[in-house]
């Protein structure tokens, strides 16, 4: 049984694209970067802690498999997490405007006796945004709960001048890497007469 240690509707939607409908786990993992912790290491650690917290919650379930993921927007050594409010979102969008940033997603898959992970890094070039562009986007409320204050699968897709990497990873779950992890655990759906590996 696969569990998703995330409240993200985007991650659930992406897993369903792979033909998987996991059980959802509501885990409470502090997303606090430690002093001196490299940005990508922070993302990887949080994803692992989410999967670990989820596994602890379902340890009594035979064959439980838990997927945890974390996605962050990073420019230089600055991590742009979820904005606190509209003013914070506006600040983030102004700083990302006309520049290229990284989106790092880490995915961990854990069972009672095994764990595997993958990290996907994409480069996103944001067009120059006017104050009117930013104000209109803030009015949409789409920025709420999104790393870097934008959702590439929504209106902010128009802001992306160039993407080098994985579109699904920028959404929150890299499909190819996740598919490979699930295949290692023999956890992919199978059709009649086919193998799951």
pLDDT in tens, 53-83: 999 999 999 999 999 999 999 999 999 999 9
List active site positions. Answer: 70
What is the pLDDT, as a whole number, of residue 190? Answer: 81
Cα distance between residue 143 and residue 147, in whole Å: 8
SS3 state at 97: coil
7 band by pLDDT with thresholds 50, 70 and 90:
confident
Percent of the chain with pLDDT over 70: 96
194 band by pLDDT with thresholds 50, 70 and 90:
very low
For 48-52, 107-111, 141-145, 189-193, which range has the lowest pLDDT when averaged over its residues?
Answer: 189-193
- Give the mean pLDDT of 160-167: 98
Q: Are 48 and 117 in contact (CB under 8 A)?
A: yes
Class of domain 2-184: alpha beta
Torsion of CA 120, 102, 134, 90, to 10 degrees: 100
- Give the mean pLDDT of 130-159: 96
Residue of 153, 78, 68 lying closest to 105 (CA atoms): 68
* 172 burial via Cβ count (<10 Å: 0-12, 13-18, 19+): buried
pTM for this structure?
Answer: 0.92
């Amino acid at each position: 049984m696969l569990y998703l240690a995330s409240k993200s509707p985007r991650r659930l939607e992406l897993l369903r694209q792979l033909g998987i409908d996991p059980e959802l786990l509501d885990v409470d993992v502090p997303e606090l970067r430690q002093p001196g912790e490299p940005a990508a290491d922070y993302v990887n650690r949080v994803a692992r802690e989410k999967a670990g917290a989820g596994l602890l919650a379902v340890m009594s379930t035979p064959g439980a498999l838990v997927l945890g993921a974390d996605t962050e927007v990073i420019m230089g050594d600055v991590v742009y997490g979820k904005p606190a409010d509209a003013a914070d979102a506006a600040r983030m969008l102004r700083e990302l405007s006309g520049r290229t940033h990284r989106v790092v997603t880490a995915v961990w898959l854990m069972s009672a006796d095994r764990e595997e992970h993958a990290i996907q890094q994409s480069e996103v070039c944001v067009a120059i945004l006017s104050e009117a562009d930013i104000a209109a986007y803030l009015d949409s409320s789409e920025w709420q709960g999104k790393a870097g204050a934008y959702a590439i699968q929504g209106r902010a897709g128009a802001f992306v001048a160039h993407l080098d990497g994985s579109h699904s990873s920028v959404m929150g779950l890299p499909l190819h890497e996740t598919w490979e992890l699930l295949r290692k655990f023999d956890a992919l759906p199978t059709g009649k007469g086919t193998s799951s590996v």
